[in-house]
Amino acid sequence: MDWDIVIGIETHVQLRTNTKQFSGASTKYGSEPNSQACLVSMAYPGVLPVLNKESVNNAIRFGLAIDAEIASRSIFARKNYFYPDLPKGYQISQFELPIVGRGKLSIDIGSDSKDIRILRAHLEEDAGKSTHGIIDGKSGIDLNRAGTPLLEIVTEPDLSSAEEAVTYAKKLHNLVQWIGICDGNMQEGSFRCDVNVSVKKKGTSELGTRREIKNLNSFRFIKQAVDYEVNWQIERLEDGGKIEQATILFNPESGETKSMRSKEEANDYRYFPDPDLLPLIITDKDIEEIKKTMPELPEEMKTRFEKDLGLSAYDAEGITSSRDVTKYFLKLIDLEANAKLSANWVLGNLFSQLNDKEIDISDSPILPEQLSTLINRIEDGTISNNAAKKVFEILWKDTGKEVNLIIDELGLKQISDVNEVDGIVDEVLKNNSAMVEEFKSGKDKAFNALVGQVMKASKGKANPAQVSSILKEKLSK
């Protein structure tokens, strides 16, 4: 039987603010446990929340970036449940009236683009962390993270494969960093996805029962977890079983998902408007002010690169896949490197090396200044593409070396003197009369063989295009 996969994602984005959502405590990561737990973080008797305006501005930035409605009036609510790392016994979140309403984010699937509808994004606060085993036989609680501002971004169930889920997550991950509202550090938990997965018989409209995979903090885990979960659900259904609504956890070590709690065990969160906070009012003027500070968005830049620089859609997408990649690319363009060649080199050789060594492009050992020189040497015909690859390899290993010097040292300069190439061609034609005959009797393949001979004779230094045109000219005589 064929099945449709239906996926929706809730992403918790830690907002990049200096202080917490409702207090002045620092949000710095990795400090001594509880050194950033102020009285509000610890929910002391009598303390009250005061909303962080910076996080509100961040939420508005996100709303603008996904072309969403921004609520002129939104409400903070209390989500009540008991847990040791939730000091107040409730989380302040937004329930009925979120700050950001409907919007969309488009993703590229192959050569098509698909709009993923964003249902809402709301402000809330993070919980602390429980640690087990540090203190003998006891559990510890670190409230440094308690109260850290979060924006929870919720999609409609518009994603239909693990690949789409990952593509969406990557796109969103790029966007929130691009507009400066999140540091994007997934290992530190700044960007975490809860993925809702269900399957239904192909073509039917009724949605299946979903299970929610909690807290996925890497793209690889999203892929693995969704793949596993989809197979699990399909197998179960095909065996005549039923899917129960549940919250599940993914174990990266086993690659399996496991139920954490069923619907029956789910909390009744007893949401109600938080009487300690007034409704959040946002005026058109507030929005206009923030609009002025918005950068050109990746989508806009992508379109511009296609139009103005002649990049392919695929290349433009790749170049705008992260702010750092774009920055690197734009530096190459500033240094007057050819745009298409630049895109090819960044997305090709540079990316493959960076990915292989797990290096961030902002830490690339090959600097834009070096790569632009290399690209310019290709464009002005000094070296061939193949020669450039050799130079690139040397640059990667021997960082800081001058491009032109490497070309000279290895003698990679192309022979661009027409007379010299002319001479080599004559020599080759003389020594390969059989091939020439073949060509003249209609065997086109022989032409390529002749080009190969000329390249060999020139020790690879001849310009293939030039060789080809000279050969053509001579053979047609």
The smaller minimum CB distance to another protein, of residues 49 and 298, is found at 49
42 binds another protein (CB under 8 A): yes
Q: Where are the beta strands (DSSP E) in 191-255?
A: 191-201, 211-216, 246-251
The smaller minimum CB distance to another protein, of residues 131 and 303, is found at 131
CB within 8 Å of 185: residues ≥ 6 apart: 29, 191
The smaller minimum CB distance to another protein, of residues 44 and 427, is found at 44
- Dihedral of alpha carbons 332, 333, 336, 341, sign: positive
434 binds another protein (CB under 8 A): no
Q: Which of residues 112-151 bind another protein (CB under 8 A)?
A: 139, 141
Backbone torsions φ then ψ of 191, nearest 5 degrees = -145, 105
Instruction: Decide if 39 contacts 225 (C-beta within 8 A).
Output: no
- Dihedral of alpha carbons 373, 378, 384, 388, sign: positive
Q: Compute the least distance from the CB of residue 189 to another protein, in Å.
A: 22
Query: Which of these segments, 10-18, 84-92, 99-107, 171-179, binds another protein (CB under 8 A)?
Result: 84-92
278 binds another protein (CB under 8 A): yes
Options 28, 220, 270, 443; binder of another protein; rule CB under 8 A: 270
Query: Which of these segments, 45-53, 323-331, 345-353, 464-472, binds another protein (CB under 8 A)?
Result: 45-53
Options 276, 369, 393, 420; binder of another protein; rule CB under 8 A: 276
The smaller minimum CB distance to another protein, of residues 252 and 279, is found at 279
260 binds another protein (CB under 8 A): no
415: helix, strand or coil: strand
Residues in the interface with another protein (CB under 8 A) total 29
CA distances from 366 to 3, 191, 337, 339, 374 (A): 47, 29, 15, 18, 11
Query: Which of these segments, 42-50, 59-67, 157-165, 458-466, binds another protein (CB under 8 A)?
Result: 42-50
330 binds another protein (CB under 8 A): no
The smaller minimum CB distance to another protein, of residues 45 and 110, is found at 45
Residue 313: both structure tokens together: 């859609």
The smaller minimum CB distance to another protein, of residues 278 and 418, is found at 278
Options 3, 29, 47, 396; binder of another protein; rule CB under 8 A: 47
The smaller minimum CB distance to another protein, of residues 97 and 339, is found at 97
Query: Which of these segments, 74-82, 181-189, 306-314, 442-450, binds another protein (CB under 8 A)?
Result: 74-82
Q: How many C-beta neighbours within 10 Å does residue 427 have?
A: 13
394 binds another protein (CB under 8 A): no
CA distances from 359 to 255, 317, 324, 474 (A): 26, 20, 12, 50
Q: Measured between alpha carbons, how far is 365 from 388 in angstroms, rounded to an integer?
A: 17
Q: Measured between alpha carbons, how far is 393 from 370 in angstroms, rounded to an integer?
A: 12
The smaller minimum CB distance to another protein, of residues 44 and 362, is found at 44
Spatial CA neighbour of 93 closest among 127, 128, 123, 129: 123
Spatial CA neighbour of 390 closest among 368, 414, 360, 369: 414
Options 4, 51, 217, 367; binder of another protein; rule CB under 8 A: 51
39 binds another protein (CB under 8 A): yes
CA distances from 42 to 30, 81, 133, 275 (A): 18, 16, 22, 19
Options 28, 53, 73, 89; binder of another protein; rule CB under 8 A: 89
The smaller minimum CB distance to another protein, of residues 39 and 405, is found at 39
Options 78, 120, 192, 211; binder of another protein; rule CB under 8 A: 78
DSSP state of 278: P
Query: Which of these segments, 7-15, 36-44, 163-171, 411-419, binds another protein (CB under 8 A)?
Result: 36-44
N-terminal to C-terminal alpha carbon distance within the chain: 66
Query: Which of these segments, 38-46, 104-112, 338-346, 374-382, binds another protein (CB under 8 A)?
Result: 38-46
Maximum Cα interatomic distance, the chain, rounded to a whole number of Å:
99
Options 109, 243, 277, 436; binder of another protein; rule CB under 8 A: 277
115: helix, strand or coil: strand
Backbone torsions φ then ψ of 110, nearest 5 degrees = 60, -125
The H or E element spanning position 50 is: none
Amino acid at 73: R
Q: Where are the beta strands (DSSP E) in 49-190?
A: 73-74, 76-80, 90-94, 103-109, 112-125, 129-135, 138-142, 149-155
The smaller minimum CB distance to another protein, of residues 132 and 459, is found at 132
The smaller minimum CB distance to another protein, of residues 39 and 465, is found at 39
Q: Compute the least distance from the CB of residue 3 to another protein, in Å.
A: 32
Q: Compute the least distance from the CB of residue 97 to another protein, in Å.
A: 15
Q: Where are the beta strands (DSSP E) in 252-357?
A: 256-262, 272-273, 280-281
Options 49, 103, 184, 298; binder of another protein; rule CB under 8 A: 49
Q: Measured between alpha carbons, how far is 161 from 223 in angstroms, rounded to an integer?
A: 9
Q: Which residues bind another protein (CB under 8 A)?
A: 39, 42-51, 78, 80, 82, 84, 87-90, 139, 141, 268, 270-272, 275-278
